Chains A and B, each alone.
Chain A
Amino acid sequence: MTDGRHWGRHLLVAALAMALLGLGPGGGATWVGAGRGGTALAAAAPSGTINLYTSESEDDINLLVGDFMKQTPGVTVRVFRAGTGPVEAKVQAEQQAGQIQADLLYFADIGFLHDLSTKGLLASYLPPASGGVPRGFHYDGNQEHEVRLIFNVLGYNTMAVHFKPTSWWDLAAPRYRGKAGLPNPFISGAAFANVGTFASMKGFGWDYYRALKKNDAQILNANGDVIQKLSTSEIAVGSIVDFFVRYAKSQGSPVDYIVPSEGAVLIPTPIAIVKATSNLPAAEAFVNYLYTPGAQALFVQRSYIPVLPGVALPAGAPPLSSIKIIQPNLTYIAAHRDDIKKTFTDIFGVQ
């Protein structure tokens, strides 16, 4: 905190004048700057501030964080939310700068987290509340934790589509020329995993994306953008994460989805604790909280498939056993991150 004082001196004029203007420093945390939160020395009950970097949908994460803070008084969770790509850029930059400022990382790119894990930057933790959850949902020696399941599927607008799509290749069908969309893999981690998996998969490959380009498929922003454009029928069909469609449908939007004949792509979206966290108790408390029946019910309320056995599935979700699952090709993705993005850009280009 000496840093803050130092700067205060440099900017004395500004602060002084601002005080005069009645616009004083206000929220101390912001003003003092660096502010990783005043962490109390290892107290029994978690307290203080933790930073959560995530690509979760804004309202979903606010719902969970709000509920957690209500149940864990004394802990403040500050959320940095952006698409997976921008969040990763932030983490990378902070690594270069010396230290990751996040205590928790929660986004749709297990490859990125795996990479951090191999560098020894993540903390190992087995949340007590995850007792009933298959151990396979904790990756890399309990360093990354799957708290609910999502799949990439084909969404469509029920009013704009006369023939229900059946295959991923329908996105390249002439009848959806210019009316098919996919999330941008530079922004969405789920989309990136999907592109990496298809690019290396028999029956798809980069030819699949060349066919999409030829069909004028639109590259949208994040999945939230895709569901919005499906709802308004700006696009008729689109590659999208399943829960967005279930949730929009439950809210009355004219959308639905199918699991294509080739299968749905499983998108790991684990949460991980940064080893360098200055507030381990609070970070662990949050991860543990996500496995509690209450949090799992909130996931269900937002149309996610829970990982805790015994929690009812969201309306409209098929039982897991009935879904034909395409496992993401994590090894290929890990080895070809740059290539995947580059080839994608080359194909879809700049208009």
Chain B
Amino acid sequence: MALATGAGRRTGLAVVLRAPLVAAAAVILAAVLVYPSLVLVVSSFVAGGRLSLALYAQLATDAQVYTVLLHSLVVSVAATAGGIILGVVLAWIVSRTDVPGRAMWRTALLLPYMIPPFIGAIAWVYLLSPVGYLNQIWMALTGSPNPLAVVYGPAGIIGVMILYGYPIVFLASLGVLERMNPVLEEAARMSRAGPWGVFWEITVPLMLPGLLAGALLLLMSLLGDFGIPAVIGFPARYYVLTTRIYETILNFDQHDNLNLAAALSMWLVVIAAVLLWLQRWLQRRNRFAVVGGQAGGASLVTLGRWRYPVACGLGAFVTVSVVLPLAAILVTSLIRAYGLPPAPSNLTLAHYAEVVTGVPKVPRAVLNSLELAAGSATLILAMAVGFGYLLTRVRLRGSAVLDLVITIPYAIPGTVVALGMILAWLRPIPLIGLRLYDTFWIIFLAYVARFLAIGVRTVLAGLAQVQGTLEEAARISGAGPLQAFLGIVVPIIRPSLAAGWVLAFIPAVAELTLSILLFSVGNETLGVVIFGLNDEGKVTLTAALAFLVTMLLLVINLVSRAVLRGTEGATRG
């Protein structure tokens, strides 16, 4: 930033810089978004080297495709419904009642969001596989020869999705509840009996628009989730679209498998497009919705004799969603050989030593993941500032299109984004001869595409709060528009910049969906290594690495939340 303020005062600089800025933005957008999207769509219409609808015909007549599509819809809709109920009720409890320890519960209830979902899924396999800890305890206590419940299959996928997805709705609900005018609720409370009546008839309808936005976000993220159905669905051969596309991409014995996967992806693209359209429609409507009113000052619902039972309920819930899974990972990582009872004599730290020093790809993956996350977050931030300048100051035409283009890779499942990258960059780029496939850079580009929207949104929100007068003042004293922007506005929105960086960084650290399809030797990521060890049945090593990574993410999350107080900054991949 010092560079910018120290630069010359000639106004011509801005003009000189603007064209390259627009050009650079266009090139990057083309590389990470536009070109891969086009190639993806075109590939789905190419079979046997010529344009045709053959792949669509093949899919249309394959009964398994409909089964898989149905699975995707069933698990994601069911889990979204569960997530809405949990998220709303929990948000209402911590923001509207006098339950003891409200601030603590707020943080505790966000913890599941900081655990990468596929690691959560692995933890639930430790707990509820046919020989999982909970089932063993159950069988020992009851003498029953049958397990209590087995996580493999749709019910397990839905359950784990709810546990690691509800915080999206929880966060959205908290936001709405805090902005909602409490007078309405109070008026209702005075004329009606019982907090539940007020909750269902006043609070919920008022929350509805914001709630729907959160629910849509959750539905999109669950439809695109790969890790949970991969870990819990594969053992039961229960496929959803993302896992089926993944398997198709890997099945090179099938003709045109990549193009077939592209055609299969179109289901997800269409569903995502509908959801995205719904979201925009809601946003437009939302603008006129009356949420208004000053935040705070809401009088809390008195729980009375229910205060402590409700707190216990929250405690039990946090135990199930966070404590048990983390304990299961920890115990598994310490046990000498998986399957032995966790008696003190069976515990060892050897797996931690082995995973850190005995598996060469682990240190590589740590470095790669941190570089990828930091590098992509930084580029995203730079792009966000550039877009912010173009969108808010230059008032570039077609900004609505730009906004939509940026949102697309976040709405479209990561598996599809990765496939687009493979198809686009598998062959060397003509003329330059540069090959991105098999390099660090293809993962880098994929991360940039995937997380661009988060960063840009955060920075734009910050920019919207800065008034133009400050820049004008700078320009009157001789600075060009770009200098005024970089020298005056950017320093002011530093908190938003930091938040944008962190929000793009965190989900990239343990990213799985993109990396599992794009990694190559030397370019492994943490998500890939954990997933690979798990696939190979290296249970104790998986647990050791998963525990370290989860702890790292919890620390990064909690520290950045403390530093960036005010931004509800929990996120993940």
A interface residues (Cβ-Cβ under 8 A, vs B): 3, 6-7, 10-11, 13-15, 17-18, 21, 23, 25-27, 29-31, 33-35, 51-53, 57-59, 62, 65, 78-83, 85-86, 88-90, 92-94, 96-98, 101-102, 184, 186-187, 218-229, 231-234, 251-253, 337-338, 341-342, 345, 348-351
Is the Cβ of B253 less than 8 Å from the Cβ of A232?
A: no
Q: Is B371 an interface position by the 8 A CB rule?
A: yes
Size category of the binding interface on chain B: 35 or more
Is the Cβ of A83 less than 8 Å from the Cβ of B252?
A: no
Is the Cβ of B337 less than 8 Å from the Cβ of A253?
A: yes
Given A62-B359, A226-B537, A232-B131, the answer on whether A98 and B522 have CB atoms closer than 8 Å is no
Question: Told that A14-B376, A23-B374 touch, could you supply 12 new A-B pairs with CB distance under 8 A?
Answer: A18-B378, A23-B375, A30-B440, A34-B438, A83-B535, A97-B438, A98-B427, A234-B130, A253-B337, A338-B255, A350-B68, A350-B238
Is the Cβ of A251 less than 8 Å from the Cβ of B434?
A: no
List A contacts of B153 (CB < 8 A): 351
Report how far A22 CA is from B521 CA in the complex, Å. 25
List A contacts of B201 (CB < 8 A): none
Closest to B252 in A: A92
The A/B interface has a contact count, at CB < 8 Å, of 191
Closest to B448 in A: A14
- Would you list which residues of chain B between 499 and 551 have a CB under 8 Å from chain A? 520-523, 532-533, 535-539, 541
Is the Cβ of A98 less than 8 Å from the Cβ of B254?
A: no
Is the Cβ of B254 less than 8 Å from the Cβ of A341?
A: yes
B428 to chain A, nearest CB (A): 6
Q: Is B37 an interface position by the 8 A CB rule?
A: no
Report how far A52 CA is from B71 CA in the complex, Å. 38
Report how far A21 CA is from B244 CA in the complex, Å. 40
B521 to chain A, nearest CB (A): 4
List B contacts of A6 (CB < 8 A): 432, 434
Is the Cβ of A30 less than 8 Å from the Cβ of B367?
A: yes
Is the Cβ of A101 less than 8 Å from the Cβ of B64?
A: no
Is the Cβ of B521 less than 8 Å from the Cβ of A78?
A: yes
Is the Cβ of A224 less than 8 Å from the Cβ of B337?
A: no
Is the Cβ of B521 less than 8 Å from the Cβ of A27?
A: no
List B contacts of A220 (CB < 8 A): 235
Given A26-B367, A234-B131, the answer on whether A225 and B536 have CB atoms closer than 8 Å is yes
A209 to chain B, nearest CB (A): 13
Is the Cβ of B435 less than 8 Å from the Cβ of A89?
A: no
A39 to chain B, nearest CB (A): 15
Q: Is B17 an interface position by the 8 A CB rule?
A: no
Is the Cβ of A51 less than 8 Å from the Cβ of B521?
A: yes
User: Please, could you name 13 A-B residue pairs with CB atoms under 8 Å apart, sorted by A?
Assistant: A11-B375, A13-B382, A58-B541, A78-B522, A83-B536, A86-B250, A94-B437, A97-B428, A220-B235, A232-B129, A251-B337, A348-B237, A350-B239
Report how far A294 CA is from B375 CA in the complex, Å. 43
List A contacts of B5 (CB < 8 A): none
List A contacts of B129 (CB < 8 A): 232, 234
In this complex, the member of A14, A233, A348 whose beta carbon has the largest number of chain B beta carbons within 10 angstroms is A14
In this complex, the member of A52, A82, A83, A85 whose beta carbon has the largest number of chain B beta carbons within 10 angstroms is A82
Report how far A190 CA is from B444 CA in the complex, Å. 34
- Would you list which residues of chain B between 418 and 463 have a CB under 8 Å from chain A? 422, 426-428, 432, 434-435, 437-441, 444
Is the Cβ of A27 less than 8 Å from the Cβ of B364?
A: yes
Q: Is B56 an interface position by the 8 A CB rule?
A: no
Report how far A58 CA is from B542 CA in the complex, Å. 12
List A contacts of B254 (CB < 8 A): 338, 341-342
Is the Cβ of A13 less than 8 Å from the Cβ of B378?
A: yes
Is the Cβ of B371 less than 8 Å from the Cβ of A33?
A: no
Report how far A253 CA is from B336 CA in the complex, Å. 11
List A contacts of B538 (CB < 8 A): 58-59, 224
Is the Cβ of A14 less than 8 Å from the Cβ of B234?
A: no
List B contacts of A85 (CB < 8 A): 250-251
Is the Cβ of A349 less than 8 Å from the Cβ of B237?
A: yes
Q: Is B247 an interface position by the 8 A CB rule?
A: yes
Report how far A345 CA is from B520 CA in the complex, Å. 27
Is the Cβ of A221 less than 8 Å from the Cβ of B537?
A: yes
List B contacts of A65 (CB < 8 A): 360
A66 to chain B, nearest CB (A): 8
List A contacts of B435 (CB < 8 A): 3, 34, 97-98
List B contacts of A27 (CB < 8 A): 364, 367
Q: Is B557 an interface position by the 8 A CB rule?
A: no
Closest to B255 in A: A338
The contact of B427 among A34, A96, A223, by CB within 8 Å, is: A96
Q: Is B266 an interface position by the 8 A CB rule?
A: no
The contact of B535 among A10, A35, A78, A225, by CB within 8 Å, is: A225
Q: Is B45 an interface position by the 8 A CB rule?
A: no
Is the Cβ of A101 less than 8 Å from the Cβ of B438?
A: yes
Report how far A27 CA is from B364 CA in the complex, Å. 9
List A contacts of B427 (CB < 8 A): 96-98
Report how far A227 CA is from B308 CA in the complex, Å. 47
Q: Is B197 an interface position by the 8 A CB rule?
A: no
List A contacts of B236 (CB < 8 A): 351
Is the Cβ of B536 less than 8 Å from the Cβ of A222?
A: yes
A81 to chain B, nearest CB (A): 7
Report how far A51 CA is from B358 CA in the complex, Å. 18
Closest to B425 in A: A97
A115 to chain B, nearest CB (A): 11
Q: Is B138 an interface position by the 8 A CB rule?
A: no
A272 to chain B, nearest CB (A): 16
Report how far A224 CA is from B542 CA in the complex, Å. 13
B501 to chain A, nearest CB (A): 9
Is the Cβ of A224 less than 8 Å from the Cβ of B536?
A: yes
List B contacts of A187 (CB < 8 A): 535
Is the Cβ of A97 less than 8 Å from the Cβ of B426?
A: yes
Q: Is B249 an interface position by the 8 A CB rule?
A: yes
Closest to B381 in A: A17
A14 to chain B, nearest CB (A): 4
The contact of A30 among B238, B250, B253, B368, by CB within 8 Å, is: B368
Q: Is B11 an interface position by the 8 A CB rule?
A: no
List B contacts of A92 (CB < 8 A): 252
